Amino acid sequence: MSNTRLRFAPAPTGSLHLGSARTALFNWLAARGLGGELILRIEDTNAELSKPELIDNIYRSLDWLQIEFDGEPVRQSERTDLYNDAVEQWLSDDLAYVDDGAVRFRVPTEGVTSWYDLVRGNVSFENEHIEDFVVRRADGTATFFTANAVDDFELGITHVVRGEDLINVTPKVLMLRRALGASDTPEFAHLPLIVNEQRKKLSKRRDDVALESYRERGVLAPAMINYLALLGWGPPDDIEVRPIEEIISLFELTDVNPSSAMFDLKKLEAINAEYIRAMSPEDFSHALTPWIKEESWGAVVGADELLKVAPLIQERTKVLSEGPAQLDFFFLTNPEFDEAAWTKVMRSDEAPLILSAVKTAVAEVKWDSTALHEMLRSIGEQHGMKLGKAQAPLRVAITGRSVGPPLFESMQFLGRETVVQRITAAQQKLDTNKPIDSP
RNA sequence: GCCCCCAUCGUCUAGCGGCCUAGGACACUGGCCUUUCACGCCAGCAGCACGGGUUCGAAUCCCGUUGGGGGUGCCA
């Protein structure tokens, strides 16, 4: 039986922060790799942080990422007696004293407090630079230091994996741990910070740090996990996009890079796109459904219909939220013409010719994408145009845009009648716009 | 100010004294493929912050400089 035990200890301050998510992930990876336990400890040391909705948000985010914990979550709000006992003990041992109603810990004025950090090597602080810090507030509640030290000790935590922003609280916590009677020191691993383009720690104010918002944009959980794992760590074989099981078996805390890592949305999206492409059409279509349902035209779209068109955009989709804009023309009765696309391709002399030729041919042609393909190829040829050029006006007529999913497959789905209607609509717009002095 | 941490392509990283004329990925550029876009493929651009050591040999070890970041609450 293993005695290894790690913990992820978020403070419920709103939507789970990207940095917290990465910390949770690394704790999980380390715990799995070490064959140890991982517990979730909610640091809700004050009533403000104890709100059910904030706690739920943490559960929901962790659940989405599929990071699993052992046992029931530990709530610091339910352990105040433990913290109080510890403070009382320090007081009676004269390791702490009362100051303005609060209790401060006596920090030695000499010596150093140090530890060997799994990601940074030796880190040491001279005690003379550490002030007598508060362990219990005047209102009687325990501070972060106390709760942290008591819980890590009582819970038998062997590995503390957390952000580098907490590196300077470590000596304090170590002192308290000793004052608690502990003779051992847990392993520490201080993870590099995740920073923005300005190289500043990701913050709620400046940056989009809510894990939730990436989920809402249509980032897949496995892709998010995969990307987060790459922030501060890299596989030795250079294969970055891979199943979580492989990441678990390759991951080592001692391999974590100590320097801060910039959050790169482009790379996240590239990885997400790769995960999307790897999905089965059924899974992709299913995953896309919530985004479709949000559209005014989406409510009536059936699962079977969606499954027919979703594969046409699958390899063109980086995040699921891009789905509706790519598919709307399939379901809108009168999709609008994009003006830029219209002026780009419809002003040519050939455009009206292509349109009318297609409209005629379409009445007869066998209704499948291969036949439609051949039809347009031959019409284009008659006008001395390559297929790439000939499809442009037709695409704008039918989809309203100059780019989109494969045209003939799209036409096949829309059906003969709709295709004729849309070509007619485009012809009318062409006539309306025609300059008066034109022949 | 003081304390602590960090320093390989624009970005994320591999490298842990010779295999490095530094590898991969994202981004970017060019080309091929092609019904647009995308995918895929090929090619290209681009980096060991600087200065001293140590060593036969340093991206790799040590020191310093510079630069960046974090912390400095009776927040966590």
pLDDT (tens digit, 9 = 90+) per residue, A3-58?
999 999 999 988 999 999 999 999 999 999 999 999 999 999 877 788 889 999 99
Which pLDDT band, with edges at 50, 70 and 90, does A435 fall under?
Answer: low
- Residues A276, A284 contacting (CB under 8 angstroms): yes
Chain centre to alpha carbon of residue A160 = 24
3-state secondary structure of A142: strand
Residue with nearest Cα to nucleotide B37 C1': A403
- Residues A245, A274 contacting (CB under 8 angstroms): no
Nucleotide nearest to A395 (CA to C1'): B36
- Residues A192, A257 contacting (CB under 8 angstroms): yes
Residue A270 covered by a domain = yes
Residue A295 covered by a domain = no
- Residues A254, A30 contacting (CB under 8 angstroms): no
Among residues A153, A7, A146, A169, the alpha carbon closest in space to that of A72 is found at A7
Distance A192 CA to B56 C1' (A): 38
Tokens of A148: 């942290």
Nucleotide nearest to A195 (CA to C1'): B69
Please state at what angle helix A303-313 crosses helix A281-293, rounded to 10 degrees.
110
Amino acid at A300: V
One domain for residues A260 and A393 = no
Residue A40 covered by a domain = yes
Distance A128 CA to B2 C1' (A): 11
Cα–Cα dist A436/A259, whole Å: 67
The tokens 């002192």 sit on which residue? A175
Cα–Cα dist A279/A277, whole Å: 5
Residue A218 covered by a domain = yes
Residue A41 covered by a domain = yes
ipTM of the complex: 0.96
Tokens of A37: 């336990």
Cα–Cα dist A161/A14, whole Å: 21
One domain for residues A273 and A353 = no
- CB hemisphere CA count around A80 (13 angstroms): 12
Distance A138 CA to B16 C1' (A): 50
- Residues A27, A38 contacting (CB under 8 angstroms): yes
Residue A387 covered by a domain = yes
Mean predicted confidence (pLDDT) in A190-208: 95
One domain for residues A350 and A270 = no
Query: Is A121 (CB) below 7 Å from strand B?
Result: yes
One domain for residues A67 and A212 = yes
One domain for residues A62 and A197 = yes
One domain for residues A204 and A346 = no
One domain for residues A243 and A372 = no
Tokens of A211: 């894990």
- CB hemisphere CA count around A300 (13 angstroms): 7
Query: Is A137 (CB) below 7 Å from strand B?
Result: yes
Cα–Cα dist A342/A82, whole Å: 71
pLDDT on residue A2: 56
Which bin fits A400, alpha (ψ -120 to 50), beta or left (φ > 0)?
A: left
Distance A239 CA to B9 C1' (A): 19
pLDDT (tens digit, 9 = 90+) per residue, A284-324?
999 999 999 999 999 999 999 999 999 999 999 999 999 99
Among residues A120, A234, A129, A248, the alpha carbon closest in space to that of A188 is found at A120
The domain that holds A228 is classified in CATH as 3.40.50.620
DSSP secondary structure, A205-265, as one string? TTS--BHHHHHHTT--HHHHHHHHHTSS---TT---S--HHHHHHH--GGG---S-EE--H
The domain that holds A337 is classified in CATH as 1.10.10.350
pLDDT on residue A439: 40
Cα–Cα dist A245/A353, whole Å: 57
pLDDT (tens digit, 9 = 90+) per residue, A64-89?
999 999 999 999 999 999 999 999 99
Among residues A354, A360, A362, A378, the alpha carbon closest in space to that of A412 is found at A362
Which pLDDT band, with edges at 50, 70 and 90, does A437 fall under?
Answer: very low
Q: What is the bridge-based pairing of β-strands A37-42 and A159-163?
A: unpaired
pLDDT (tens digit, 9 = 90+) per residue, A382-411?
999 999 999 999 999 999 999 999 999 999
Query: Is A324 (CB) below 7 Å from strand B?
Result: no
Query: Roughly how many angstroms between the first and final C-alpha of chain A, as a whole number?
Result: 90
Residue A123 covered by a domain = no
Q: Please give the tally of structural domains in chain A.
A: 2
Residue that terminates a domain, selected from A278, A305, A321: A278
Residue with nearest Cα to nucleotide B16 C1': A255
- Residues A396, A346 contacting (CB under 8 angstroms): yes
Domain extent at residue A425: 333-432
Nucleotide nearest to A312 (CA to C1'): B38
Tokens of A5: 């035990």
Q: Which of A's residues 169-228 have CB atoms within 7 A of nucleic strand B?
A: 169, 192-193, 195, 198-201
Nucleotides of B under 7 A from a protein CB: 2-8, 10-15, 23-27, 35-40, 68-76
Residue A16 covered by a domain = yes
